[in-house]
Structure 1
Amino acid sequence: MKRFVLGLFTLTLAVACQKPTTTEAKTAAGGDSGAPVAKWTGGSISAAELDAQMFDQRKQALDQMLVRKLVEQKAKAENLTPEALWKREVTDKVKKPTDADMKQFYDEQSKRQPLPPFEQVKEQIAQYMERPALQAAQTAYVDQLKKELKVEVNLKPPRVEVAAEGPSKGPASAPVTIVEFSDFECPYCSKAEDTVKQVMKAYDGKIRLVYRDFPLPFHPHAEKAAEAAQCAADQGKYWEMHEKLFANQQKLEAPALKGYAKDLGLDQAKFDKCLDGGDKAKVVEANKAAGSKVGVTGTPAFFINGYQLTGAQPFEEFKNLIDQELAKR
């Protein structure tokens, strides 16, 4: 039983571009959690960062425990062992790769690096190739169980005060504000775009979305892309440039950015001067600093009325927090 539960969450944890960072934040109760609980020359760890990590650990433990108990209950109702139920509903539904598929994969990898004989690594190759389908089957079955057994999760992350400053969509008076810290070169941020649009549509008029830049250091073009969006904002085309950048994540070099400005009909001379001169570098840096202060360690990071949700999470995760906030009104 332990094996399949751990397997599920091992496969589903990678939902964000990650970077360790220090944090500083204020809790909803007003206490300053920015004071470091550990510090050294050149860095520190704040109480906010520690709280966020402890929540992540509790959330992961809750998710694993919930899956285990749901499967155990369902298996008992059908007079099966949990392992037998999991095999029927998940493992057996995953199509096994053929020997030909595995040999083709092996031959391609052999061109890049020396490998043991095919027969020795055949089982590992099969597991690797099955992984995406296994993840999908696991997620689908767990979602089915949650709906069938009417699961409600009330565990919330620590609440922090986040400055809602930057380009925004939705009414300023909306009861729920989502502040998103994101990176134009992060694939998980691109993946999250569709979910954000789904959220905005489902809660039309009830959500204000504020976008703030958090370019990560290992994405070489992310910072300049963020500056390009801010330069476009000066000409009233922030969201149009925003869409262009996410649609062209593999082409974010300066010449490409200038080409997108041309496509959008911007004043090319003004845009080029803004981009080349680094006019918006301080804006982007201020956004990054704001993200670090509230515990952002990876992108995308969302704050829903101050409650953090990290990564390209499914719509249901947003819905859970948003519905709880709306219920208070």
Structure 2
Amino acid sequence: MDIKLPLALVLGAVVGSGATFLLSGKPAENVTSDAVLSMGGVNYALEDLPPAVSRAVFDIDNEAWQRKVQVITGAAGEMFVKAEVDSSGRDRQAVVTELLDLREPAEEDITSFYESNKDRIPAPLDQVRDQIRNYLMGQGMQAGRDALTERLRQEKGMKILLAKPEAPLNVIDTQGFPVKGNPQAKTTLVKFADYQCPHCYVAAETLDELMEQVGDKVKMVYMDFPINSSGISREVALGAVCADEQGKFWEYNKAAFIQHRSLNEDSRLNLAKELGLNMETFESCLASDRPEKKVARAEDEAERLGLTGTPSFFVNGKVLQPENLEDGLVEAVREAIGLN
């Protein structure tokens, strides 16, 4: 995920301007369980505060929830291991090794990993063999833990009952931004992305496949959040606005993501030419203030919502933060339209 320091969020202090910080509230004497702040005789619930605040609090709660789930899941695994040790009388380490299918990486696995990644490893194999071995063992251990967790679900009916924090509901200004799917659909997916972000490219591929399956039940809106420091993403985003004016936004969008690793200062013009756009009209659009205004609107909305990275997704106004982006994105959309 590409990261941008939020302009709206000052570490540990104030979010938003004084004019927008206090949005609504209840008299302090009417204390409610959802109040998180009392000031000036007024109580404020989380939803009364700016979106960036509720997003920041949700991020903290969600991270804490995920860590608690890891601890609880680990405890379930330990209980299962103990039961196996007690029933079999075997050594604990032997039981763990068997349950997690732990094994020393074979030399061919180490060599294969090195050959596949040597462009990123600035040392000969003999110098990094031990590090690769330890890395592969760690990967194997994690895979074993995941397999054990799934076994506990299947065989023991394990369920995590710890309530998951609910993402705050946001009203997002999507007016005028590109739409794919059914504009009248009850489920709206909003994507904020950067054209040079590799995770955004992977997400775009996932969404293309998903929209082919459920596009009649989903309204997908694309909004720019060009946070790459090169500035090229922003230039490409400006070009996308002009491609949209010629009815070629999604073609331009797809082509730009395919080329995300090689985008440069000439890309927005080259993409327009590749798509057969009217170049005189395209360049006239770029010379106007329309692209700048539209991209700036999307950026302002992203910052108002407290976004700090790309890609970021909202399903029916609620931010999506799965551990695995691709799987979580598909699952969230399918759940929203009633297919899960």
TM-score tier, shorter chain, comes to 0.7 to 0.9
Contact 1:300–1:310 (CA under 8 A) maintained in structure 2: no
For 2:248 and 2:216, locate their aligned partners in 1 and report how far apart those are by CA, in whole Å.
Answer: 22
User: Which residue, out of 124, 132, 139, partners 2:131?
Assistant: 124
Task: Name stretches of at least 5 consecutive residues in structure 2 with no aligned partner.
Answer: 10-15, 25-44
User: Which residue, out of 61, 64, 74, partners 2:70?
Assistant: 64
Please name the residue that 1:196 is paired with.
Answer: 207
Alpha-carbon offset, residue 53 of structure 1? 2.8
For 1:169 and 1:93, locate their aligned partners in 2 and report how far apart those are by CA, in whole Å.
Answer: 49
Alpha-carbon offset, residue 172 of structure 1? 2.4
Change (3 A) 1:106 1:200: closer
- Do residues 17 (structure 1) and 2 (structure 2) align? yes
Letter in 1 for 2:5: P
For 2:139 and 2:80, locate their aligned partners in 1 and report how far apart those are by CA, in whole Å.
Answer: 23
Please name the residue that 1:253 is paired with.
Answer: 264
Alpha-carbon offset, residue 214 of structure 1? 0.4
Letter in 1 for 2:324: Q
For 1:193 and 1:139, locate their aligned partners in 2 and report how far apart those are by CA, in whole Å.
Answer: 30
Task: Name stretches of at least 5 consecutive residues in structure 1 with no aligned partner.
Answer: 1-15, 36-45, 112-116
TM-score normalized by the length of structure 1: 0.72
Residue identity over aligned pairs, in percent, reads 22
Alpha-carbon offset, residue 170 of structure 1? 1.8
Deviations 1:25-68 (A, max 9, x none): 999x8943228xxxxxxxxxx52343133133224314413541
For 2:172 and 2:145, locate their aligned partners in 1 and report how far apart those are by CA, in whole Å.
Answer: 32
Alpha-carbon offset, residue 188 of structure 1? 0.8
Deviations 1:296-326 (A, max 9, x none): 1111000111221247834442355445544
- Report the count of equivalent residues: 295
| Pairing 1:146-161 to 2, within 5 Å after superposition | 148=154, 149=157, 151=159, 155=164, 156-161=166-171
User: Which residue, out of 233, 238, 242, partners 1:227?
Assistant: 238
Please name the residue that 2:227 is paired with.
Answer: 216
Contact 2:55–2:168 (CA under 8 A) maintained in structure 1: no
TM-score normalized by the length of structure 2: 0.70
For 2:47 and 2:121, locate their aligned partners in 1 and report how far apart those are by CA, in whole Å.
Answer: 56
- Do residues 236 (structure 1) and 247 (structure 2) align? yes
For 2:269 and 2:323, locate their aligned partners in 1 and report how far apart those are by CA, in whole Å.
Answer: 29
Change (3 A) 1:322 1:264: closer
| Pairing 1:47-62 to 2, within 5 Å after superposition | 47-62=53-68
Aligned CA-pair RMSD: 4.1
Contact 2:47–2:168 (CA under 8 A) maintained in structure 1: no
